[in-house]
Amino acid sequence: MLFLLLLPSEQASASRQSDKSAIEIGKRYQLEIPEETKQALRKARKKKPSDISWQTATVKSGDTFGKILSDFGFSANTTYQLTSSEHGKKLVNLNIGDQLELASNDEGVLTALHYPISITETLKFSLTKDGFTSSIDVKKIEKRLNYAQAEIKSNFWSASLGAGLNNNQTMNLANIFGWDVDFALDIREGDSFNVIYETEYIDGELVGNGNILAAEFINQNEAFKAVRFKDGEFYAPNGDSMRKSFLRAPVSFQYISSSFKPKRYHPILKRVKAHNGVDYRAPTGTPVKAAGNGRVIASTYNKYNGNYVFIQHANNIVTKYLHFSKRAVKKGARVKQGQVIGYVGSTGLSQAPHLHYEFLLNGVHRNPRTVKLPDAEPINKKYKAEFVQVANELLTKLEGSKRALLAATDDAARAIAE
Ligand SMILES: [Zn+2]
């Protein structure tokens, strides 16, 4: 519209041809448009795509790509051209809720299609004279550091979520310290943790929480610290791996953590110290993990142990798992730490579904939750200096955030008291 208004009008041209001295005061005259401007305007008009309009299609149940295009008035040939182009296969496997941005020109020809395939990636098709070309547009994720802190009041899970960590990070936090702390039986009211983690932003918008970079966990007044290195592994501040040859608990806390009640002594877990083992009360079917790498030396049934599995490990260590509802490994099999070897049940001499777990060193029963384990692998020597630098930096940040938060809490408490 603006373009049209700038064009010299008929009358204006006519008046220009008339005597230039006959200009009337107060009358509006069209100024002559310089030739360069006219050229620039012609160019701009050429560059400007002929009225492209965008429409959004949301994939519904029962939709196919062809049906969506046909619903929007595009031909079967367009569907064929798109799906047979590079990346076109991705259009065949649409998910319900996916959105397609469709661009068409004023002749009703589909000229471009944008399909966001993840929060960072958009698949873009555009029509050229040789058919559709496509590319994947990747948005950069910007990472920022965040800090979370919590004291456990009812259970670890709710403390972690309450501190702003998500489910994934909560599991990761338990996994980081799962070789030192038995999250199923040994978490107490008053335990606490501090975490530095990444948050991810796209175009300045928060899209999610990322990796934990450093964390401190205080369990029954004992502090454990861990720092993530670039290999994705966690190491103690001295460079020892957080991974040890044995997990403290062969069942994940998530199946039993809900039974944690403040100021009470595990009413449901009910630790039974008799018969040289540790009992984990958990629902039938809860997966049980091998505490360490080893070889299965027994996987069978008798009327006392029910379904049971024994594993022989290095350093003359044997672990025993009793009362399974179902065994998942055979005698002679090699198992890896964390591998599921069976499922909680109540077979044999058992009154309720539980895992009975024993840890024997040189044939002598030891408490698996307190036994001194073989030394952890240290970080590779060639990375030690780099790790120490990263660790110092992150642990300083962790301490700083902790102090800042404590000070802020003190101030708030003082403000309330005043
Ligand atoms: Zn038992």
- DSSP bridge partners of 218: 192, 223
Q: What integer pLDDT is reported at residue 16 of this predicted model?
A: 44
Instruction: Decide: 348 and 304 in contact? Cβ < 8 Å.
Output: yes
Cα-to-centroid distance, 66 and ligand 1 (Å) = 61
Q: What integer pLDDT is reported at residue 23 of this predicted model?
A: 57
Q: Binning pLDDT at 50, 70 and 90, where does residue 369 land?
A: confident
The lowest-confidence range among 34-43, 56-65, 209-218, 312-321 is 34-43
For the beta carbon of residue 360, count every other beta carbon within 10 angstroms.
19
Delimiting residues of CATH 2.70.70.10 domain(s) in the chain: 248-373
| pLDDT average, residue stretch 204-211 | 89
How many residues are given for the chain? Answer: 418
Cα-to-centroid distance, 273 and ligand 1 (Å) = 8
Q: What integer pLDDT is reported at residue 4 of this predicted model?
A: 44
pTM, two decimals, is 0.67
Q: Tell me: the pLDDT tens digits for 15-30? A: 444 444 555 666 665 6
Cα-to-centroid distance, 336 and ligand 1 (Å) = 24
Cα-to-centroid distance, 342 and ligand 1 (Å) = 16
Cα-to-centroid distance, 270 and ligand 1 (Å) = 11
Q: Binning pLDDT at 50, 70 and 90, where does residue 265 land?
A: very low
Q: Binning pLDDT at 50, 70 and 90, where does residue 49 land?
A: low
Q: Binning pLDDT at 50, 70 and 90, where does residue 2 land?
A: very low
Residue 259 pLDDT > 80, yes or no?
no
Cα-to-centroid distance, 334 and ligand 1 (Å) = 25
Instruction: Decide: 209 and 150 in contact? Cβ < 8 Å.
Output: no
Cα-to-centroid distance, 300 and ligand 1 (Å) = 17
Q: Tell me: the pLDDT tens digits for 72-131? A: 999 999 999 999 998 899 998 899 999 999 999 988 899 999 999 988 899 999 999 888
Q: How far apart are CA 22 and CA 365, in angstroms?
A: 117
Alpha carbon of 229 to those of 275, 386, 388, 411: distances in Å? Answer: 42, 9, 10, 35
Cα-to-centroid distance, 335 and ligand 1 (Å) = 23
Tell how far CA 391 is from the center of its chain. 23
H/E element, 202: strand 192-202
Which listed CATH number (3.10.450.350, 3.40.640.10, 3.40.190.80, 3.20.20.70) goes with 53-138? 3.10.450.350
**Pick from 307, 303, 261, 305: which is nearest to 285 by CA?**
307
Cα-to-centroid distance, 272 and ligand 1 (Å) = 6
Cα-to-centroid distance, 276 and ligand 1 (Å) = 8
Instruction: Decide: 53 and 103 in contact? Cβ < 8 Å.
Output: yes
The residue behind tokens 């996987």 is: 299
The residue behind tokens 């000070």 is: 407
Cα-to-centroid distance, 224 and ligand 1 (Å) = 29
Cα-to-centroid distance, 271 and ligand 1 (Å) = 9
Average confidence score pLDDT of the chain:
85
Instruction: Decide: 77 and 131 in contact? Cβ < 8 Å.
Output: no
Cα-to-centroid distance, 147 and ligand 1 (Å) = 41
The lowest-confidence range among 29-38, 73-82, 153-162, 168-177 is 29-38
Q: What 3-state DSSP class applies to 173? A: helix
Q: Which residue has the higher pLDDT, 314 or 32?
A: 314
Residue 176 pLDDT > 80, yes or no?
yes
Q: Tell me: the pLDDT tens digits for 326-367? A: 999 999 999 999 999 999 999 998 889 999 999 999 999 998
| pLDDT average, residue stretch 312-331 | 96
Q: What integer pLDDT is reported at residue 48 of this predicted model?
A: 54
Instruction: Decide: 211 and 197 in contact? Cβ < 8 Å.
Output: yes
Q: What integer pLDDT is reported at residue 267 of this predicted model?
A: 37
Q: Binning pLDDT at 50, 70 and 90, where does residue 411 land?
A: confident
Cα-to-centroid distance, 280 and ligand 1 (Å) = 8
Longest dimension (CA), the chain: 121
Instruction: Decide: 59 and 96 in contact? Cβ < 8 Å.
Output: yes
**DSSP state at residue 276:** G
Delimiting residues of CATH 3.10.450.350 domain(s) in the chain: 53-138, 142-243+385-418
Q: What percent of the chain has pLDDT over 90?
A: 61
User: Which burial class, exposed, middle or buried, applies to 1 when counting CB atoms under 10 A from its CB (0-12, 13-18, 19+)?
Assistant: exposed
Residue 263 pLDDT > 50, yes or no?
no
Q: What integer pLDDT is reported at residue 409 of this predicted model?
A: 73
**Pick from 85, 97, 96: which is nearest to 124 by CA?**
85
Q: What 3-state DSSP class applies to 283? A: coil
What CATH architecture does domain 248-373 belong to?
Answer: Distorted Sandwich (2.70)
Q: What integer pLDDT is reported at residue 264 of this predicted model?
A: 32
Q: Binning pLDDT at 50, 70 and 90, where does residue 12 land?
A: very low
Cα-to-centroid distance, 277 and ligand 1 (Å) = 6
Residues sharing a CB contact under 8 Å with residue 241, sequence separation 6 or more, in sequence order: 233, 234, 235, 376, 377, 378, 379
* Amino acid letter for position 105: N
Cα-to-centroid distance, 1 and ligand 1 (Å) = 85
What CATH architecture does domain 142-243+385-418 belong to?
Answer: Roll (3.10)
End-to-end CA distance of the chain: 67
Instruction: Decide: 234 and 242 in contact? Cβ < 8 Å.
Output: yes
What is the C-alpha R_g of the chain?
Answer: 34
Q: How far apart are CA 315 and CA 369, in angstroms?
A: 17
Cα-to-centroid distance, 365 and ligand 1 (Å) = 13
Cα-to-centroid distance, 306 and ligand 1 (Å) = 12
Cα-to-centroid distance, 149 and ligand 1 (Å) = 36
